[in-house]
Structures are given as C-alpha cells and as structure tokens.
Structure 1
Amino acid sequence: MNEATTLLTLLTVHFIALMSPGPDFALVVQNAGRYGRQTGVMIALGLSLGILLHSILSLTGASLLIHQHPTLFALLQAAGSGYLLWLGIGALKGTWHYWQQRHNASGAAASTSPGLTIASKRQALARGFTTNILNPKALVFFLSLLSTLVPAGMSLSGKVSAIGMLWLLSFLWFAMLAWLLTGERLQQKLRAWTPIIDGLCGLLFTAIGGTILLNLLLA
C-alpha cells in the first residue's frame, strides 16, 4: 500500500470515529448552542490540538511507552475518568437545578454549574484540549490506528502529512459542527433544549468516566 492510499485510509477511519458520539462530540453540542459560534470554534481548536498531540505521541512511540507501563496508564485513566465525571456530574447538577427552579417558578432560565461555565476563548480552548487529551480511550484509539495503518518504513514527510491531515480534519469537523449548531434559528431551539442537552451530555460523560474508573478498579 503506497503512502497516498495509507493516508486516505487513515483519514477515512478517523473521520468515521469523529462522527461517533463521544466526549468530544458531546462537548461541542453542549456548549456551542449556549455560548455561541466563537466559543464553539475555540472548543473545536482545543479538541483538534489534543488529537494533534495524541497523533505525535503515537507516531513517536511515547503513547506505546505509556500503554506498556501499567502505573502510567492507570494514572492517565484515573485522571481521565475523574475529569469526565466532573464534567458529567456538573452538567447533571445544572439540569437538576434548572428543573427545581422551573418547579418553584415557571420560566426560570437554564443554569450551569459554576465550575463548568466558559467565560472566555481561552477557557473554551482549554476545555476542548483537556477533554480530548485526558480521554484514555483516545490514547488507545490513536495508538491502535497509527500502529496498524502507518508502516514503520513510512517516510518522515508521510508521517508529518498524516499528523497534519488528522489535525486539520479534526478541526474542520468540529468547527463545522459548531458553525452549524450556532445558526440563528437552530441556536434559539438549542437554547430552549439546553437542560435536556445538558442532561444527555452529563449522562454520557458520567457513563464513560464511570466505566473507565470501574474497569480501572477491577483490573
């Protein structure tokens, strides 16, 4: 398989993975409608930078080193599960608070757990990057993807192209998602559905974080 075919296969598999619902996808959906297009695009940039780092670590062998050392990988899993649980529980608390307010006084605005509020572009960038880089499933995915599809004898220019294309595809996908979600009409609908979106995203974050933690404790 030549390098062009390798790159095309790599991008195809990665794009399918990007479209699958997960923490990255949920983070964009949860926050783009609430905070607007610029925040959504900054989250997309943060997520793609996390993917860029995962790709570099995988191709340089650093991810393999982490994966082969149980203590290092366990620490990453613990940090990742804790972060996802923090996001999930915070979103669920915000949803619960909203429904309590609505029960006590109709027309109450949707609320967000204070620690989860995104108040600046820098916070949006950091939220996206942290969500991706601390996801141990992402480390395993990129390690498996790149070790399987990228041959050891691939040229340096080919590997650099693979890393650059994975980053660009990731950024364009999440930025496009944020752009579509922040159209004026759709944004109004999303804001009305914010408590439900928060609740679903909270359940997803909590389920993934809880599963990682449970697997870690049972290992």
Structure 2
Amino acid sequence: MEFILIASAHFLALLSPGPDFFLIMQTALRMPMRYALSVCAGIAAANGLYLTIAVLGLEAVRNMHLLMTVLKYLGSGYLIYIGYLLLRAPKRPLTQNEKQGFLRQQSFIRQFSLGFASACLNPKNAIFYLSLFTVMVSAETPLAIRTLYGLWMAGIVFTWDMGVAMLIGNRRSKNYLEKWIFGLEKISGLMLSLFGILLCLD
C-alpha cells in the first residue's frame, strides 16, 4: 500500500508540465533523438540525486535555508537564460542542421548537463522528494525497500521523459508540427522564463 501511494503521488506530479517538459520538447524538435534522450538522462540523474538524499533520510537538507536560497536563484537565472535564448532565436526550418549555440551543441555531455542543471537547480524537486518520503514512507520501512522506491521513481522519470521526447521528436510529429515550430519555440521560451520568474518570487 505504501508503494502504491508514493508511486501514484509521484506519477501525478509527472503529469504536470514543468521546465523539464519544455526543455525536452525544444530539444526533441530541433535535434536528433539521441540528444533529447541525453537531456532525459540528465533530468533523471538529477532526480536520482534528490531521491538519494530522500532515501537516506536527510530531511535536514530541506532546512538548509542558505542552500535552498542559492539553488532557487541559480535555478531562476538558468531558466530565464534558457527562455531568453529561445525567445530571441530566429525563425528557421526544422531541416536546418544546427550544431552550434548553447542549446544546440551536438554533444551528449552538453545535453546531459542541460537536463541535469534544469532538474538539479529546481529546489522544488528536493522539497517534493523529501516531503514525499517524510509524509508517505514509514520510518520503519527498511533502507533496502526505500532504495527500491527511489530506483523506481528515477526509472519512471527517465521512461516518462523519454516517451515524451519520442512522441514529439519522431518524424511524423515533426512533419506535423513544422509549421508551428516557431510559435512552439516562443511558447517554450516564454514558459521557461515564467517558471524562472515564479521560482525567484516564490
């Protein structure tokens, strides 16, 4: 029953589009699928980091106000910067082969880092996982079981994000969305900037 409760709460949180969704969308539309999957792996790794902290019962991290404040402002600046890059990007066809620029560099490490930073610099991820394990996981639950919970959730994050990337980034979807790509890019930039501003004001 405990597993069903935390798995359900976690999945419901995944259904709500956040900064990671818009980062995955623009990568899947503009770059080969392997780089979108690198972004997904980076996001899952950052979630795994916070899950490790939660699994080990390090609730004290949530009370480190200086750390949370630094994360908040770094994350806010990062999201606003990514949003700014998308907002100022010129109109160009999907067939244009882009290999340069902060967002478009065809490097597994770069794209992994973009995804990792997006999820890691969002203090709400840390708060969510710490709250989830504090409220829904019994103190009597063995470490091995809590570890399995964490592995499950990190795996679900990667699987879900990978599914989103494959749905958006396949050739049929790209052909369908091509005439709206400029608008979608601007919406992504606007949403990422908005997330950054709201994070800063929170």
Give your verdict on TM over 0.5: yes
Instruction: From the superposition, tell whether residues 20 and 118 of structure 1 become closer, same or farther in structure 2 (CA, over 3 Å).
Output: farther
1:1-219 matches, within 5 Å, as 5-62=1-58, 64-94=59-89, 97-98=90-91, 108-109=92-93, 114-215=101-202
Counterpart Cα distance in 2 of 1:53 and 1:191: 36
**4+ residue segments displaced more than 3 Å:** 108-113
How far apart are the structure 1 equivalents of 2:109 and 2:77? Answer: 22
| Aligned residues of 2:50 and 2:126 also touching (Cα < 8 A) | yes
Q: Secondary structure at the match of 2:102?
A: helix
Gaps of 5+ in 1: 99-107
Q: In the TM superposition, what is the alpha-carbon distance from 1:176 to its structure 2 partner?
A: 1.2
2: CA distance, partners of 1:66 / 1:194: 40
Per-residue displacement from partner, 1:176-218 (whole Å, max 9, x unpaired)?
1111222211122334322211111111111111112223xxx
Residues 206 and 33 of structure 1: CA distance in aligned 2, closer, same or farther (over 3 Å): same
Larger helix proportion, structure 1 or 2?
1
Give the count of matched residue pairs: 199
In structure 2, distance between residues paired with 1:160 and 1:8: 15
User: How large is the RMSD of aligned CA atoms in angstroms?
Assistant: 1.9
Q: Distance in 2 between matches of 1:27 and 1:121?
A: 15
How high is the sequence identity, in percent, across the aligned residues?
26
Question: Residues of 1 paired with 2:148 and 2:13: CA distance?
Answer: 19
TM-score scaled to structure 2, two decimals? 0.90
Q: Which has the higher Rg, Structure 1 or Structure 2? A: 1
**Distance in 1 separating the partners of 2:41 and 2:85:** 23
What is the alpha-carbon distance in structure 1 between the residues aligned to residue 176 and residue 184 of structure 2? 11
Structure 2 gap segments, 5+ residues each = none
How much has 1:133 moved relative to structure 2? 0.6
Deviation of residue 43 (structure 1)? 1.3
Choose 205-214 or 110-119, whichever is displaced more: 110-119
- State TM-score, norm by structure 1: 0.84
The amino acid across from 2:174 in the alignment is Q
Contact preservation (8 Å) 1:34, 1:190: no
